[in-house]
């Protein structure tokens, strides 16, 4: 197993300027999802599997499988954004989604981390409340593994999905 060398440690950062984008192909033109307020947990931790044996006086735990979970994304409503995402949902199109961390989170001369995966989506309006902004919730149904790359993935990364 190779070791990773970090050239310069960065400070923890707020999520401001993180982006959510999608594309029809891994390296194709990306469309930014505007006014993102919240992106749910990207990956679930594996469940633990407890086991024991008659000759042992303790239980042990092994790493189990990761549960399949959808990712909910809350966005401020815009007419164009809603219509564009609803068309993708209505056509049941599978897209590549990219969550890119801000450049300032990367070490010197490095690209920021990008999490990517294939997914279909559903979109629904949130409750309409007096004094609140209109919002949509997008639910992303992952169809591949979550892949982490430094910068956007390249064609050589396609086998990871």
Domain boundaries, the chain: 19-160
Indicate the range of 6-15, 55-64, 74-83, 134-143 predicted with least confidence. Answer: 6-15
Residue pLDDT, tens place only, 88-116: 999 999 999 999 999 988 888 899 999 99
User: CB 76: neighbour CB atoms within 10 A?
Assistant: 14
The C-alpha torsion from 71 through 74 and 78 to 80, rounded to 10°, is 0
Indicate the range of 17-26, 41-50, 117-126 predicted with least confidence. Answer: 41-50
Residue 103, classed as helix, strand or coil, is helix
Give 5's pLDDT tier (boundaries 50, 70, 90): low
User: CB 161: neighbour CB atoms within 10 A?
Assistant: 15
* Calpha distance 75→35 (Å, rounded): 5
* 99 exposure class (CB count in 10 Å sphere: 0-12, 13-18, 19+): buried
* Calpha distance 108→13 (Å, rounded): 15
19-160, what's its fold? Pnp Oxidase; Chain A (2.30.110)
In contact, 51 and 62? CB cutoff 8 Å? yes
Mean pLDDT confidence for 133-154: 96
């Amino acid at each position: 197993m190779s070791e990773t060398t970090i050239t310069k440690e960065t400070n923890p950062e707020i999520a401001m300027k993180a982006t959510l984008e999608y594309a029809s192909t891994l390296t194709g033109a990306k469309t930014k999802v505007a006014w993102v307020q919240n992106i749910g947990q990207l990956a679930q931790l594996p469940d633990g599997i407890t086991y024991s044996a008659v000759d042992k006086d303790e239980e042990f735990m092994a790493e189990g499988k990761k549960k399949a979970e959808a990712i909910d994304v809350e966005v401020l409503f815009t007419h164009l954004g809603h219509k564009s995402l609803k068309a993708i949902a209505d056509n049941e199109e599978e897209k590549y989604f990219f969550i890119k961390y801000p450049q300032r989170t990367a070490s010197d001369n490095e690209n920021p981390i990008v999490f990517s995966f294939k997914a279909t989506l559903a979109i629904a309006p949130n409750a309409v409340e007096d004094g609140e902004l209109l919002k949509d919730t997008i639910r992303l149904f992952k169809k591949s593994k979550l892949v982490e790359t430094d910068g956007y993935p390249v064609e050589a990364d396609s086998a990871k999905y």
